[in-house]
Chains A and B, each alone.
Chain A
Amino acid sequence: MINVFGRAVGAPSNFTRLILLSALSVALMFLDHRGHHLEKIRAALNVLAYPIQLIAAAPAYVGGGVADFFTTRDALRQDNEKLLAERQALNARLQQFEALEEENARLRRMLGSAALVADKAIAAELVEVSTEPFTRKLVVAKGSRDGVYVGQSVIDAHGIMGQVTQVATNVSRVTLITDAGHAIPVLDNRSGLRMLVFGTGDPDSLKVPYLTSASDIKEGDLLVSSGMGGTFPPGYPVAQVDKIVNDPNEAFLAIAAKPAAQLNHGKQVMLIWRGTPPKNTDGAR
Chain B
Amino acid sequence: MRFGPDARRRLTLTGTFAAAVILAIMPFPTWAEPFRPDWVGLVLIYWCLAAPERVSVGTGWLLGFLQDVLYGSLLGSNALGKTLVAFLTVRLHLQLRMFPRWQQAVSVLGLLVANQLLVLWIRGAIGQAPETIGYWTPSVVGALLWPWLFVILRDLRRRGGIV
Contacts and interface: CB of A to CB of B under 8 A. Distances in A.
Do A and B assemble together? yes
A144 interface: no
Interface of B: 21-22, 24-28, 30-31, 33-34, 36, 38, 56-58, 61, 64, 66-67, 69-80, 83-84, 87, 90-91, 122-123, 126-132, 134-135, 138
Interface in A34-77: 38, 42, 45-46, 48-49, 52-53, 55-57, 59-60
Contacts of B61: 21, 24-25
B74 A32 contact: yes
Interface stretch (A117-125, A133-141, A227-235): A133-141
A180 B130 contact: yes
A202 interface: yes
A133 B129 CA distance: 11
The 9 closest A-B pairs by CB, nearest first: A201-B130, A28-B76, A132-B71, A25-B80, A25-B76, A134-B130, A128-B27, A29-B76, A181-B128
B26 A130 contact: yes
Contacts of A15: 87
Interface residues on A, range: 35 or more
A129 B130 contact: no
A179 B128 contact: yes
Nearest to B67: A132
Contact of B25 (A56, A173, A179, A202): A56
A88 interface: no
A52 B71 CA distance: 12
A60 B66 CA distance: 22
B76 A24 contact: yes
A32 B75 contact: yes
Contacts of B79: 21, 24-25, 28
A56 B38 CA distance: 16
Interface of A: 14-15, 17-18, 21-22, 24-29, 31-33, 38, 42, 45-46, 48-49, 52-53, 55-57, 59-60, 128-135, 137, 139, 165-166, 173, 179-181, 200-203, 264
A45 B64 CA distance: 14
Main secondary structure of the interface of A (DSSP, over half): helix
B76 A135 contact: no
Contact of B75 (A17, A28, A53, A139): A28
B138 A130 contact: no
Given A14-B91, A48-B69, 12 more contacts: A21-B83, A25-B64, A26-B80, A27-B76, A31-B75, A38-B75, A56-B22, A59-B26, A180-B131, A181-B126, A181-B128, A203-B30
A42 B130 contact: no
B13 to A, nearest CB: 17
6 contacts: A25-B83, A29-B74, A52-B25, A130-B28, A166-B72, A200-B130
Nearest to B48: A14
